[in-house]
Amino acid sequence: MTSINKLRKRNLSSSTNSTDDIYGQYLSDYQLYFDNALNKTKYKDKYNNNINGECVLLDVSNNNDKNGDEKWITTLPNSNIELLSIISLEFAKDLTQYWVVEDKEYLAIPSHDKFKISPLFYSGVLKRYGINDISIDTKVIDNDAIVKEKKIYYSPKVITVERGDYIYYGYCDKTYLVTDVQNFTDLPFADSTECNHILKYIVDGELYSMLSVVVNNPRFTLGLKSEVAGITEGDDMLRVKVPFTNSTKKIYRGQRFIINGQAWKATKTDYTVDKGLITILLGEDNINPEIDDVELEIANGKHAYSIMLNSNTESLQETGTYQISTTVKDNGVIITNPNITYSSSDETIVTVSDKGIVSAIKIGNAIITATIGNVSSELNLTVIAKTSQNVVSYNNSWSNGLNLNYNSASTLVCTKTINGVIDSSLKIEYSFDANGQALIDKGLLAITVKSDASIQIRNKSTTISSVSLTVKDSLDVNKRVILSQDIKLLGGV
């Protein structure tokens, strides 16, 4: 192709030997070269239909090899190709392959654009907690390590990969956990490890299953790196990596797991929200056949539920409502937010929501059943005729507010008026949520009944937490709720 110096000499005798003339001649010669190039092919951007055209492939040694090496292409000016664009090249043999644009060479005379491209081998699926699956363009390179690690290069045109993401490949039916990300401007990549186990664990009474990376780690405490993918006989310590999620962040030291028919106990958990991963160090533990489901690999997977209703017999006026209150224990431990199923024996008389709110429809009798696992408890309800309505109101006051330091107390006084007249016969009943009841059982929350309509609450806990108090009118036919209040325990000494 004609160089710029040759063009200057050729136009030396011209009276209009301007830079524009030289550039025009250069561009004309390059256009001639471009039109007659043997390696000319079409390109098209995968995500932007406005970016398409023709280019010349400078390295054609592997142009029919779908796993070809990096290449350079040149285009006419103003191709609009961008760095990290995903483009396809159509070769003479009808081979279509996606490439990522890694670099652009900026020449002294901009008569053409020159780009470095690299092949993208696979289309993967990015799976992230809290979002829908997203297809991404990647290429995978072995990391040449003992564990099954890969460097997964990706184009950030669709989404940026983060630690704790999963990348799934359907062609090999394998899922990789992203353990680190290098967000280079040319072509970022994710250090990823093949998932080799489904970790099953129970949090707040709910069973979760999480794809994980499990490695042998017998010399972890000595500070030596000795990792072997999978699990072998004789391991005395394992290390597990899982994404940081609402459930995995609640995994605690001492929590038990069943892996490969063996019981394990968490001896250390290490996580940082920004890193997106949780690493759990496991030591050997003993199988407990009474509570462990070894076949399904669920520690404490054999439940022993007990369910207790605050009442087994109630009367309800037509159109009235009633909130069922339950306490559920599993192997003697109170479950927070248990997954209870409610049903009514006759929905023409009363209905019940999944939150345990009963609504009376017409006069009659019905049974409400609360069920968890294979254990249930029944509430017998009688719907009576609706009486004339009195105007009932309640007032409540706290002597020392709702924020209690250690060993401080506050007294609740309730009053009731009917049609503007104080009802001196008011008698209240109270209940706490699972956390409050647990503190009462441990003697860390003291309740003193001052009168039929007054109670005192004293904080004896040094830990910061909160409890929820519910107070009802015990003499009201519908057990009307007087207040539902959160009380903050501020700890201290």
How many other CB atoms sit within 10 Å of the CB of residue 479? Answer: 20
CB atoms within 10 A of CB 116: 20
The answer to whether residue 3 scores a pLDDT higher than 80 is no
Q: What is the mean pLDDT of the chain?
A: 81
* Residue 157's pLDDT band (cuts 50, 70, 90): confident
Chosen CATH of 392-489 out of 3.90.550.10, 1.20.120.50, 3.50.50.60, 2.60.40.10: 2.60.40.10
Tens digits of residue pLDDT in 289-298: 877 888 888 8
Q: Taking residues 446-466, what's their average pLDDT? A: 92
Query: Could you tell me the end-to-end alpha-carbon distance of the chain, in angstroms, rounded to an integer?
Result: 86
Residue 63, strand partner residues: none
Q: What is the value of pTM for the model shown?
A: 0.50
| Tokens (6 digits) for 18 | 């301007």
The CB-side HSE value for 276 (13 A sphere, CA atoms) comes to 14
User: For position 258, what pLDDT does the model report?
Assistant: 93
Q: Does the pLDDT of residue 231 top 50, yes or no?
A: no
Look up the CATH number of domain 306-384: 2.60.40.1080
In terms of residues, how long is the chain? Answer: 493
Rounded to whole angstroms, the Cα distance separating 107 from 26 reads 13
Are 37-119 and 122-194 the same fold in CATH?
Answer: yes
Tell me the C-alpha distance between 143 and 193, whole Å.
10
- pLDDT at residue 12, rounded to an integer: 44
The pLDDT tens digits of the residues spanning 413-439 come to 999 998 888 888 899 999 999 999 999
Indicate the pairing of strand 326-330 with strand 305-309: antiparallel
Residue 382, strand partner residues: 315, 365
Helix (H, G, I), strand (E, B) or coil at 205: coil
Query: Which class does domain 197-285 fall in?
Result: mainly beta
Least confident range from 14-18, 39-43, 117-121, 392-396: namely 14-18
* CA angle, 95 then 98 then 102, to 5°: 135
Give the single-character DSSP code of 249: G
Q: Domain 122-194 adopts which CATH fold?
A: Thrombin, subunit H (2.40.10)
Instruction: Identify the CA nearest to 481 among candidates 396, 399, 411.
Output: 396
Half-sphere exposure of 2 (CA within 13 A, CB side): 21
With vertex at residue 256, the alpha carbon angle to CA 285 and CA 177, rounded to the nearest 5 degrees, is 110
For 194-205, what is each residue's pLDDT tens digit?
999 999 998 877
Domain ranges of the chain: 37-119, 122-194, 197-285, 306-384, 392-489
Selected from 2.40.50.140, 2.40.10.220, 3.40.50.2020, 3.40.47.10, the CATH number assigned to the domain covering 37-119 reads 2.40.10.220
pLDDT of amino acid 91: 62
User: What's the CA gap between 51 and 53, in Å, rounded?
Assistant: 7
